Amino acid sequence: MIESMGFDAAVEVGIAAFCAGEEPPSDEEVWGRLTGAGVEPWLAERLLIFLPMAYTRRLLPDVQYPDGLVVPSGRVNLSAEPVFVAALGRAQSADRGEVGRIAVRSSEFNAINNALNAGSELSDLMLSETALAKDLEPVEQGDGGIPSPRAVFEDFLRGHGVRLDGETRVDAKLLVHPAPAGVVMAQVDFAVSHPALATPWLVESFAAHGATWRDAIGGAVNRFKLGALHPIVEGLLHPGAAPDQVERERYEHPSGAFELVLGAQINLFTDRSVPSAGPLLDRLMEALRAEPLTRKVHGLRLFIAYHDGQLQTNEVLLDGEQWSGGEAVVADSQAPLPDGRVAVRIFGLLVPVDNA
């Protein structure tokens, strides 16, 4: 099968365009949601046509489907269209709401429904190829306005000399969130699996908004690159590949010594200078001595947000799970700024010291 991973994010954007709103949107509304957020016409057209076809195959798998479309200039081979391949793969994990909203839009679904009403059995149906009134827009170079976070993540890692083999597995998935008109909101979950980790997967999520999907996804990717990429590379995947991009300090724990490998502090929602969260981090590390730690690599993430000095968000995760002891430390700490909105995010890895 041809490579389709480059359109994983595009398919998620297409699904969101079909599923937004209380009522099913028209094709014109779906088109406007896509192209209005920077999706290039050739990709928007394929999402509009291919997603309903893929979801019909997911909903009614017993029917025999053709592998092509008829267009004025000839025939389109669906298995050679990476957007269709990506849509078909994603449809296999679709929930009932997605299937109900998207599958019923396809002409193939209508043809099947008509045949069933005429007395046919699903297993006996063999559909003919759908005919389009005009040729598909030619595929252009690039991502069509929707970068693939996974492809970008893999490029980052290869640039640091990380080998993506059977021992190291990575993923990056786009989650689309509702946003006001004229704005799109992208959350990207970056995931790493490695034998040295204390948990099967280490997941770090970053979000950003923008007028286009390129802006929003790019913002989330840049925040990941700033705050989490280098600790993951330097502390887990390829030590020595990014030594000047992290801070290191030895940490003594009852289970043995660790090295704390920290990324940059990310400050959000303000243009003002924000004090270092180092003193708060020191108190968190002191409290962590009361928690059992295995001799594996552990992830630690702090995200706190304040408004006019009042704590609004208190999230301290240890190995991806809420750490109540850490949140108690945050709740007993002062805001980094006395007024206005401000948020602070820090990510690091606790790496066992071999001679501990």
- Local confidence band at 5 (pLDDT 50, 70, 90 cut-offs): low
Cα gap 351→246, rounded to integer Å: 13
**140 φ, ψ to 5°?**
-105, 165
Q: Among 133-137, 145-149, 162-166, whose mean pLDDT is lowest?
A: 162-166
Predicted confidence at residue 70, as pLDDT, reads: 95
Q: What angle do CA 282, 287, 291 make, to 5 degrees?
A: 130
Q: What is the pTM of this model?
A: 0.92
Predicted confidence at residue 151, as pLDDT, reads: 94
pLDDT higher than 80, residue 77:
yes
The more confident residue out of 118 and 247 is 247
Angle separating helix axes 149-159 and 8-19, nearest 10 degrees: 160
Q: What angle do CA 346, 233, 9 make, to 5 degrees?
A: 80
Instruction: Tell me the average pLDDT of the chain.
Output: 94
186-238 confidence digits (pLDDT tens): 999 999 999 999 999 999 999 999 999 999 999 999 999 999 999 999 999 99
Cα gap 141→327, rounded to integer Å: 47
Cα gap 144→47, rounded to integer Å: 11
SS3 category, 324: helix
238-272 confidence digits (pLDDT tens): 999 999 999 999 999 999 999 999 999 999 999 99
Cα gap 126→310, rounded to integer Å: 63
Give the Å distances, CA to CA, from 346 to 105, 213, 242, 264: 45, 25, 17, 7
Dihedral angle of Cα 86, 90, 91, 95, to the nearest 10 degrees: -160
- Please compute the mean of the pLDDT values over residues 328-344 and round it to a whole number: 97
- Please compute the mean of the pLDDT values over residues 43-68 and round it to a whole number: 95
- Which domains does the chain show, CATH number per domain? 5-131 (no CATH), 147-244 (3.30.160), 246-356 (no CATH)
pLDDT higher than 70, residue 355:
no
**Which of 323, 283, 279, 277 shows the shortest CA–CA distance to 300?**
323
CA 117 to chain centre: 41
Predicted confidence at residue 124, as pLDDT, reads: 84
- Please compute the mean of the pLDDT values over residues 19-27 and round it to a whole number: 93
